[in-house]
Amino acid sequence: MNIGKAKLQRNLFIAAFIIPTFLFFCVFTIYPLIQALYNSFFDWSGMSQHKDYVGLQNFKDIFDDPIMLTAIGNDYFLVIGKIIGIMAIATFFAVALTRLRLKGTAFFRSIFFIPNVLSAVVVGILWNFIYNPQIGFLNGFLSLFTSSKVEINWLGFESHTIWMLLPPAVWAGIGFYMILLIAAITSIPASLYEAADIEGAGQWHQFRHITLPLIWEQMKISVINIMMTTLNGSFVIVTIMTAGGPDNSTQVMGSYLYQQAFKQAHFGYGAAIGTVILITSLITTLLLQWLLRKEQVEVS
């Protein structure tokens, strides 16, 4: 009898602590995600009476839509550019701030993280000012070397404007990944480096054969994280800096979803774009995991 009562008490406690959170999470996170997948099979302008089942038509339209193909291309351009840029610079700084016995490392570490606490909106506006054709830093700086005032419209090229969004994205991402890599490096046993020192291995050799293999797991996590946050979140920097323009050439999937759904009331099509973001994100995760696993075998 007593055991039964104790068990009941335990179960009541678990229920009281688990169920409110889970119900809340179901309503505001899980339900929207599932509903989005469902909506992507409908032609839907936002009114419930005009919601027609169209099967896979939205997805067929996506692959016939030149803007969507540009958007996917831009997304992957940013993914690859950010992975290369952020990982190279963040690893460089992480090693410099841990292994090289430099002074002022704590100071640099705290400074470098600052862009990560800024809103992407703030980052976008700051870089808009750098690129501003009339009063921006970049043209002002270039004008120092020319006789006439430089007035390049950095965010208005007919093509390749997406390149201009890479520096802000990399700049804003370095600090976080540097911190992760620093944590990984400092957890490597010092004895490994001491042994390497005794054998006369130089800094580069130590990096290549001790640091890199032992932080590889963390680098893999970082690469996948960069990919996911880029596919999910480039929307903000694009919206703030170019609004997808000029002529939809800098559209990414997220910003195009926003435009289709909330500006043009193509909610079914927008939902299908969301589904494509999910699918590309999952496929790329698997792909990266496979690619980076192979690499790891070669390193060690």
Partner 1 sequence: MLQRTVHPVFKSIFYAFLVLWGISVIYPLFWTFTDSLKNNQQFYFNMPWSLPKFPLLWSNFEYVWTNYNFGKYFINSIAVTAGATVLGLVLAAMTAYTLARYKFFGSKVLYTVYISSMMVPFALALIPLFFLVNDLGLANNRFGLILVYASNTLAFGIFVLIGFFRTLPKELEEAGAIDGAGYFGTFFRIMLPLSRSGIISVGIINVLEIWNEYIVGTILVIDPTKYTLPIGLAAMQVEMQYKTEWGPLFAGLLFTIVPVLVVYIMAQRHIVSGLVAGAVK
* Binding to partner 1 in span 112-151, by CB under 8 A: 112-115, 117-122, 125-126, 128-129, 134-137, 140
Q: Select the span of 57-65, 149-157, 178-186, 287-295 touching partner 1 (CB under 8 A).
A: 178-186
Residue 210 gets which letter from DSSP? I
Asked if 189 interacts with partner 1 (CB under 8 A), we say no
Give the footprint of partner 1 on residues 192-221 (CB under 8 A): 197-198, 200-203, 218, 221
Asked if 289 interacts with partner 1 (CB under 8 A), we say no
Among 59, 157, 171, 207, binds partner 1 (CB under 8 A): 171
Alpha-carbon distance of 113 to 111, in angstroms, equals 5
Asked if 24 interacts with partner 1 (CB under 8 A), we say yes
Question: Closest Cα partner for 254 from 241, 242, 236, 240?
Answer: 236
Alpha-carbon distance of 98 to 106, in angstroms, equals 10
Asked if 53 interacts with partner 1 (CB under 8 A), we say no
Q: Which of 162, 273 has the CB closer to partner 1? A: 273
Give the footprint of partner 1 on residues 59-118 (CB under 8 A): 89, 92-93, 96-97, 100-102, 108, 110-115, 117-118
Residue 50 gets which letter from DSSP? G
Asked if 30 interacts with partner 1 (CB under 8 A), we say yes
DSSP per residue over 146-185, as a string?
Answer: SSSPP---TT--SS-GGGGGHHHHHHHHHHHHHHHHHHHH
Q: Number of helices (H) and strands (E), helices first, in the chain? A: 14, 2
Q: Which of 210, 298 has the CB closer to partner 1? A: 210
3-state secondary structure of 8: helix
